[in-house]
Structure 1
Amino acid sequence: MKNGEPLLYPYILSKSGDVTIHNISPCHGRSFIVDQRGQREFVVTKGNGLNYSSSTFLNTREMGDDTWGLLLRKDAERDFLLGNEISSLGIKTNKMEAVIELEADIELPTNKIVHPVLLQYTVECPYRIEDCAFMPQRTLWEEVMRWERLNERGYEMAYLIAADVLIHNLRILHDNNILHNAIHIGNYTWALELLDFELACSPKHPYENEDYQRHAVDLFEREIIHTYVVINYIAGCLQEVVDFKVLDKLFNRYGFDLNAYSVNIERKGPHNLQ
């Protein structure tokens, strides 16, 4: 920090670069660790280029200007704004610092020129839930042991501590009519920080596309299932067996009654699986 302002890291990947940035998992795609200010403050920049290819950016043509490794300004700004809004509601997230437009021209296959944009933020834990295979087991359990301060209900299994946090987060989001729209194992850290808001929308920051906004209301309930999947994965990483009845009751405690989505099966006779 300098005069209260964060130090900026305006870098994209280059074979001739003289600044070291850290790639801790290929799952992060276009995000890198650029600094560590303290034991629990890692600086991340997003949009620097791909961390799993010899190419910096790859455009597969099906997404228009959207390019693997690249971050567009409109997406960076939405991520920044929604992230701050969601953080203000008490959900633990990354701490946004800056949107940085670089003085460089990226020529897309369509011959369009775009300027790379970076999103800079800090996190307590640089590892995401999906990074389990790339993490030292000691690091994973050091993070899990920090969850004990959240364990006020006396849960016997660690995954239920995480579940309580994740389901509570979902309750806050939905009570405020906020759709995250990308809840999965790549968007929670092992410090249970919720990340990545470029696909999110809220009453304050609705989708600009009217068709997207009209259909957003239909996407809220699927986030219950998405959250369930993340919890299952956490339990698997911790080698814990999920008690689905207990977990369903926890969802219900927060107002998510899974029975409301049950589908009846009319059995007309035995069916053999080949």
Structure 2
Amino acid sequence: IVYSLSDKEWAKHVYRKALECCGDDDARKYVIETIKDVLEDDEWASELSSVFGIRFSDDDSDEESISFYAGRCGEIGCGELFGDRLEEFKKLFISRAIKDSDFIYMPSDMASDYYTGVFVSDEFLEDWGLQNAKIKESGRLGIPNDGQGYKPGIYLMYAILGDYSVDLETDGCDEIEFLGPKIDLANWEPELSGEYDELVVAHTVVLDGDEKELYEFMGDEDDMRTSVAIVWVNDDGDVEYLYTYSNGDEQYDPDVFSAAFPES
């Protein structure tokens, strides 16, 4: 049917439906290879390979790669505000000028810990066709927690997120391991991004014992978005939002500010 179609966009629609009807990766691989041959559209074929997590090997070499499209990627960080930075925050809060400050433009300068990578879980790995890959936690990223509750203080949490295609050159390795800290940001949900707690921000990938920075395999970022939250953890360990920013929209809570800084 596709051979007889003169409308390329309609042909793409038919191919997309065919991919959705495929029962396994071998069938999807056949459809994508046909797209390359019939439509001669390698770029779209590569995009579909990423979306459906299809692995192709190079017949002219021993190298293999796994491509997938990860919707939760980017930079995420957290840090306590104190001293001059805390005083600056208080002044900017009172003057309603946080939006145009380094708290938004340079949040990593305010964070004691931050990482760039892919946010992973066992469920995500399965969706990407990486059922045999493993996740290894290396510490945690978030508000200090001694097991009894969060440490009182003022904290900045931020995320600069995007949707990335990842082309992981595996070279036929048998073991793949994603390494990074577990996220614990008090159930913060950056707008349009969902909850991140319990996920691991994988900044390193280990291929048969060989560690590589994961960002080296990340490309084609889309829809970059910045979210910032500045919170007060009170003496009971409860987390209350002083200020939030998401893609240009900001909110101040003067009642929480008065409770956190009664002298102001």
TM-score computed with the length of structure 2 as normaliser: 0.22
Larger % of helix: which? 1
Higher-strand-fraction structure: 2
Bigger radius of gyration: 2
